Amino acid sequence: MTTGLHPGGPPQDPPPTGNQPLPRQAPIGHGALPADNRPRSSVITARAAASFEPVGRSVATARSFVRDTLQGWGFADIVDDAVVLTSELVTNAVVHAGTAADVLCLRSDDGVRIEVADHYPEREIPLQGAAINMSSPDREGGRGLQLCAALASRWGVDYTPTQKLVWFQLDLPARPVGTRAAGPSLPADLLPLADGRVRVAVVQIDRTGSIASWNEDAEDLFGYAAEQVTGKPLTDLAAWPHTPGTSTGIAEALRLSRWEGSYGIRGADGRVIPVYASHLRVRDTGGEPSTVCLLVRDHERAVLQTPLRGPAPDAASTPDGQNTDPFEVFIGSPAPDDLDGLLQRTVERARDMLDGDSAFLLLATDDETELEVRASTGLPSARQRFARVPVEGGPGRYGSARMPAVHEDLMAVPGAVPLLSGTGMRSVVTVPLKVEGRLTGSLGVAAEGPNKYSNEEALRLQFAADRIALAVESARLGELERLRRGSLSFLVEASDLLAGTLDRDQTLALMAQMTVPTLATWCAVYTIADQSSDPYLSYVLHEDEELIDGIKSLLSKIAPPDPVPTPGARVWAAPAEAAHQAALRTSMRSLGLGEPTRRVSSGIGPTLATASAVGGETVVLPLVARNRVIGMLTLGKPTDEHFRQEILELAEDLSRRAALALDNARLYSERTAISQSLQRSLLPPDLPHIEGVEVEVIYRAAGEGNEVGGDFYDLFPIRDGVYGFAIGDVCGTGPEAAAVTGLARHALRLLAREGFTGPAVLERLNSAILDEGARSRFLTLLYGELWPQEDGSAKLKVVCAGHPLPLRLRQDGTVEPAAEPQPLLGVMDDLELYEQTVTLDPGDVLLCVTDGVTERREGTRMLGDDGLSDVLTTCTGLTAGAVAARIMRAVERFASDAPSDDMAILAMRVPGLQKD
């Protein structure tokens, strides 16, 4: 804004804009004169000019410019009308026309002329004598000419090819000589009631709150002599509070720079005397602060009370006598249905009411320790929205949000209102929003100039805040209830998803996918393996997949957050700082300016988009499970954005569930790894190569995650040219059966290599199983020894102890048992077992299976020995691997359900001369 003030002199035309335009015909309002027919009798004694940029804030600045100019000229009587008209005309220029506005104020002896010009070049020029189409007064725009016709003494419009100029003249009202401004004449019965002589008690309070001086009027009003009360705290005499809706204490009021209000003083006779007080905080010559209190009887408050700028209409009634809602008087009707709309309209009305440049409204958290910015106007809202400030006094804050406060110049008290730091605002007034004595929010209005607000504006703003507080709190509770219902549904769904997996990597992915974009724009999950390990960046997700790699690169170059077990979200500034520095390096490098002085560690080179994505608020939530920090969940916003308190509380609930799910997945992974390692030790590592014999094994353990069950197999060399083989089935499945499996397999190898025959090996194994006592389980076992022969055949000696009989497939397709059944192991002490000799000719196949194959069921049907024989008959000419695969396919296709028992298939084939 550029301004100029010129001293009085002879009449001068306004300075031309560009080429001097020729005057064009303009519409003439009621009692108006064309611009070129300005009365020559009026002498311009002063002029003030200003230009305003085409931004919304310029409207408030223009109002302030006109108000200050006219008050400086002593035209207080017409200030309000001039401000209203200027506001409408400047709004038309900077908002609707979208151009700069030039405002010129001309002072004369009988009034003031104000001209507002825009620079919109394509204005329609009305025809002479054409009727002016006035818009509806209820519309947002188009009311400027209507107001000019209603309020101005004269007005008119000038059109040129480059601008449109609207001017209006306000004449000064006739008033007696020597009267500058006075209140209206009132009948005697409407004047304030006073005693025979109005007594004003002057009481001075020192910095400790004690009475330092007490004048004669104070003695007359309250009955105490000065020596009786000097040195005593004023709180001993004050009955607090009497002002309705006031929760400010007397001690707090005495520390404010200015304060007006009602309370009571206990007189010498014990009665409470209602008084109206005006407090002023001053310093003596030594710099010691004290408060001067002027007190009158409450019904004489007109002596001290600051008058309003204009007549204050009754908030409960309209001019026609109809009752209206005081809330609607301030907020307008209809009121917005949503909380954000209500808050936004509130700050806009508050700004206009106090003629401010900006306004803001903060809502208190449930514990009343912090205030969260929810609406603002005239401020960078993207940066300020959801920012939090403390309620009570402390570092970076002056006073308390629980009381009204007026700051005449923020330059004198840096950091008094952190929300306004760096915004150019100088003066500010803030008032609390309270419901039933509980702090629910804070409303503030600020201006770019100093000394703009006083206790008068604080009282007006508090009056408005008291009327909207209940509506705001009701809307906030409604929104909070909707958020909580949504949060509950979100947490239920999250719990179901997290409980549905025990895979660690999938759990990490679910954590990130549930937070982005519901709770945050991006997130990163750090994990901690053990207490001695550093946090490790395990997962990064952004709602824009193209930015994930850049964020991961940025986070990997900075130190991870500290693993603090304290619950709740804490701000982590490192990513935003690193992103800012990286963006600065990138920008300077692109401009050819080299590297900045302050450098980030080399290797960070994210794009400007990545830096912007990480440049907002970043919070860290600990992942605590079983009293140990197992990681951190990091949530981030893009540049200049903040988290809502409700979102942080929801994220904290999610982090607790996610931490337990992640720890369960870790424990499951560890135990699965241990189990699988132990199970693998129960199976033979590799099958030996037997010259002249094909061998194939297929093994399936029942149960999820099991690699070994009650079925087992083995094939091992005993001595040169002799091999032992076994296939068995321990009663039951699971770890108990697997334990007997390990005992049997290792005992078979050891005994066979000691030179024992097949029956002797099984008899000793039977004794070892019985020695297990209560842990013993009976065992079916097929054991044999294999001797490959030089003629291409193979000789076998087998013992079948209660196991399904081995089947022999000849080249002609016939199938027959290769052994006879004998007693199983682990049941009786004395066993008399014998071995049988079988010779496999070239092309023959020996098939050994466990009962999981033959007892495969589908309803009442069972595969059985006959079914297995039928399948084996079709395997003539196949290799050992093809035979085993065909048997397994037949077993799987026999029933649709998953197998419920362990299965093992051992196929041995002596190659023949046929083509395989």
Pair of tokens at residue 443: 């409303």
Cα distance between residue 837 and residue 794, in whole Å? 11
Joined together, the tokens standing for residue 615 give: 């440049």
Residue 589: per-residue pLDDT: 65
For residue range 724-753, list pLDDT tens digits in order.
999 988 886 666 777 777 788 888 999 999
* pLDDT higher than threshold 70 for residue 137: no
Amino acid identity, position 29: G
140-144, 524-528, 533-537, 676-680: which range is least confident on average? 140-144
Q: Choose from 198-207, 339-348, 460-469 the range with maximum mean pLDDT.
A: 198-207
477 — pLDDT class (breaks 50, 70, 90):
confident
How far, in Å, CA of 336 to CA of 324, rounded?
A: 17
287 vs 454: CA distance, rounded Å: 23
- Residue 625 pairs in a beta bridge with 628
Report H helices in 26-77.
57-72
pLDDT for residue 353 is more than 80:
yes
Q: How confident is the model at residue 888 (pLDDT cuts 50, 70, 90)?
A: very high
838 vs 317, higher pLDDT? 838
Question: What pLDDT band is residue 711 in, cutting at 50, 70 and 90?
Answer: confident
Average pLDDT over residues 391-416: 69
Q: Is the dihedral of CA 64, 70, 76, 79 positive or negative?
A: negative
Q: Where are the alpha helices (DSSP H) in 256-408?
A: 326-331, 339-353, 381-384
Res 336: pLDDT: 65
Distance between CA atoms of residues 863 and 886, nearest Å: 14
Fill in the amino acid letter for 911.
Answer: P
Nearest to 648 by CA among 563, 541, 568: 568
What does the pLDDT read at residue 489?
A: 79
Is omega for the bond preceding 567 within 30 degrees of 0, making it cis? no
Q: Taking all residues of the chain, what is their mean pLDDT, rounded to a whole number?
A: 78
Listed in sequence order, the residues at least 6 apart from 387 whose beta carbon sits closer than 8 Å to its beta carbon are 372, 373, 419, 642
User: Which has more pLDDT, 413 or 766?
Assistant: 766
Quick check: 798 pLDDT over 90? yes
Q: What is the pLDDT of residue 128?
A: 43
Query: CA angle 276-277-282, nearest 5°?
Result: 170
Phi, psi of 282 (to 5 degrees): -135, 170
Give the range among 336-350, 586-600, 721-735, 855-869 with minimum mean pLDDT: 586-600
pLDDT for res 832: 86
- The span from the CA of 525 to the CA of 623, in Å, is 9
pLDDT at residue 10 tops 60? no
pLDDT, tens digit, for every residue of 103-116?
999 988 888 999 99
Amino acid found at 651? A
Higher pLDDT, 285 or 366: 285
Instruction: Give the per-residue pLDDT at 844.
Output: 93
| Mean pLDDT lowest among 38-42, 184-188, 339-343, 622-626 | 38-42
Residue listed under structure tokens 């396919």: 889
Q: Which residue type is seen at 467?
A: R
* Percentage, residues of the chain above pLDDT 90: 19
For residue 292, give every residue at least 6 positions away whose Cβ sits within 8 Å of its Cβ, in sequence order, or none. 202, 203, 204, 205, 279, 280, 282
Q: What 3-state class would DSSP assign to 897?
A: coil
**Beta pairing class for 427-435 and 438-447:** antiparallel
| pLDDT value for 817 | 93
- For the record, the structure tokens of 715 come out as 């094939």
The strand pairing partners of 668, in sequence order, are none
pLDDT at 782: 94
What single DSSP character describes residue 235?
G
Task: Note the Cα 808 to chain centre separation in Å.
Answer: 72
Q: Which residue has the higher pLDDT, 516 or 24?
A: 516
Q: What is the pLDDT of residue 703?
A: 62
Placement of tokens 């004598």 in the chain = 129
| Order of all β-strands in the sheet with 815-817 | 694-700, 903-909, 845-849, 807-809, 815-817
Tell me: the pLDDT tens digits for 642-697? 787 778 888 888 888 888 888 888 888 888 777 777 767 777 778 888 988 999 99
Q: Which residue has the higher pLDDT, 223 or 383?
A: 223
Q: Is 872's pLDDT higher than 90?
A: yes
* Nearest-angstrom CA–CA distance, 515 and 523: 7
Mean pLDDT score, 624-652: 83
Share of the chain above pLDDT 70, in %: 79
Give the bridge partners for 862, in sequence order.
Answer: 857
Top-ranked range on mean pLDDT: pick from 1-15, 97-111, 781-795: 781-795
C-alpha atoms less than 13 angstroms from C-alpha of 740 in its C-beta half-sphere: 31
**339-353 helix and 455-499 helix, angle to the nearest 10 degrees:** 160
Mean pLDDT confidence for 774-778: 72
State mean pLDDT over 391-401.
52
